[in-house]
Amino acid sequence: MQLFTIFGNPVSHSRSPLMHNYVFKKRGIDACYTRTQLSDGSKLRDVFFAKGLSGANVTVPHKEAAFGACDEIRGIAKEIGAVNTLINENGRLIGYNTDADGFIATIQSFGTLKNALILGAGGTARALATVLRRHTIEPVILNRSSGRLDYFSENGYQAYSWETFTPDAYDLIINTTSAGLSDDLLPLSAPLLTQLLSRSRCAIDVIYGKETPFLHEVKRAELPFKDGSDMLLEQGVLANHLFMHGTVSTDTIRPIMQQSFLY
């Protein structure tokens, strides 16, 4: 039996086991996908091999640690510096990032966008900034603190901390912070968020499965919005395609995985 897991902290909220196990079951694949709570990201590689895993996903806060744990990085993950999908290729750990392309698939329904404000500066923010720029949607980064902004400044992005930010108009506002994930916090001050939403066209919270305080404010502002469910599905479809070493098309995986959302 092939074994897969998702590494994270927290990880109990993750729907990935349900999504991947549903696909394995429906397609008669002898595989099992579990959750692994990991507090120390530096242990990720050792735990991966000790568990005899064929592959894994990585969630908050270990995507940058996962990048450093790999023998080889492929695709857009090289540019992002964060990995959310790991494959065991003959004892070598190969890292990919499926969040980026998964996100682009989800914003198609918003129509043409010129720019986007990304709240947060972690692994997900890096993924979205990289892929948005590739699709000529100019990203601007706004983070609570300045520590993680160097990566963005060094790569030519406009990147601000709460102290240095001056509000502007953005087509899309994206919450990539973990504020609202296991607390009831907004990702920035309420007055500033209200001001930004009043000048925005649409919004996304990448958190899924709950109405975060951010999404609550977006609804009050009556903007078109999405939570993270579509992105979750699309990144999961791409990850499952990699778990199966590309032998099953994403068009085959997608409708099956989508059914798992009904449970």
146 C-beta neighbours (distance < 10 Å), count:
15
- Alpha-helical (H) ranges within the chain are 16-26, 44-50, 63-69, 77-80, 99-107, 123-134, 150-154, 190-197, 213-220, 229-243, 250-259
Q: Which is nearer to ligand NAP, 20 or 148 (CB)?
A: 148
Q: Phi then psi for 137, rounded to 5 degrees?
A: -105, 110
Classify residue 37 by burial, with Cβ atoms within 10 Å: 0-12, 13-18, 19+: exposed
- The total number of residues written for the chain in this structure: 263
Binders of ligand NAP among residues 128 to 167 (CB under 6 A) are: 143-145, 147-148
Distance spanning both ends of the chain, measured CA to CA = 24
- Does 232 participate in binding ligand NAP (rule CB under 6 A)? yes
For ligand NAP, which residue of 123, 137, 197, 244 counts as binding (CB under 6 A)? 123
Residue type, 17: P
Minimum CB separation of residue 202 from ligand NAP in Å reads 16
Q: CA-to-CA distance for 94 and 92, rounded, in angstroms?
A: 6
| Separation CA 66–CA 7 (nearest Å) | 10
63 part of the active site: yes
Given the complex with ligand NAP, which of 89 and 158 has the nearer CB atom? 158
Which range of residues in 130-138, 200-208, 216-224, 252-260 is near ligand NAP by CB under 6 A? 200-208
Q: Which residue in the set 100, 187, 203, 244 belongs to the binding site for ligand NAP (CB under 6 A)?
A: 187
Shortest CB 235 distance to ligand NAP, Å: 5
Contact letters (x/-) for ligand NAP, 11-50, by CB under 6 A?
Answer: ----------------------------------------
Instruction: Residue 195: count other Cβ atoms within 10 Å of its Cβ.
Output: 12
Answer yes or no whether residue 57 interacts with ligand NAP by CB under 6 A: no
Q: CB of 22: closest distance to ligand NAP in angstroms? A: 16
| Cβ count within 10 A of residue 134 | 13
- The active-site residue, picked from 25, 26, 51, 63, is 63
Shortest distance, CB of residue 96 to ligand NAP, whole angstroms?
13
List residues near ligand NAP by CB under 6 A.
Answer: 59-61, 63, 99, 120-125, 143-145, 147-148, 176-179, 181, 185, 187, 206-208, 228, 231-232, 235
Known catalytic residues are 63
